[in-house]
Structure 1
Amino acid sequence: MSRLLLLNIFIIASFIILKVAEGTASCDDIECAGPAYECKSCPECDLECNRAYGTCRSNCGPPGCGCSDGYCIGTDGNCVLAEN
């Protein structure tokens, strides 16, 4: 086989492996640090402290740590206690 064909096969196989692994993550496998964080299926939907509402994409990424209830994303990007 030519090197180009082998390279193409490697790239396609790597892409397939990444796509399969992307779908297997769950909150059971993720530990979040501190009470301000918890595992969420769509952490991109966290509320920013300076906005009245959150913004969510229709295609959530894999599960990950996000702000716990009562917390919002502060100006430094960390979860902070929300002010009422």
Structure 2
Amino acid sequence: MIQNGKPVVVWRADKAICKYASPVAVNGEAYFLSKANVLHCLNIESGEVAYRQRLDGDCGPTPIVANGKLNFFLQERPVSCGRCGPQV
């Protein structure tokens, strides 16, 4: 958010840290993938955690969204986490 021409912090996430992969935003949700393969889904407006899910396998960086699904690249194979949203 910008106020008086300067950026303002609206919320901070305690465990959703993007030092490993870029966050992905879709349909009002932000997805953060940690280096420990934990996917964090947060509401973009409030920062409230919708869910956290540990993924099975070693993920490559930055997931992508295609056909309404969040997709990850494991070392062994690509994986689709299902449709985007709080019920992924």
Q: Please indicate the TM-score interval, normalised by the length of the shorter structure.
A: under 0.3
Q: Which has the higher strand share?
A: 2
Q: TM-score under structure 2 normalisation? A: 0.23
> Whose relative contact order is higher, 1 or 2, with alpha carbons under 8 Å and at least 6 apart?
1
Q: Which has the higher helix share?
A: 1
Q: TM-score under structure 1 normalisation? A: 0.24
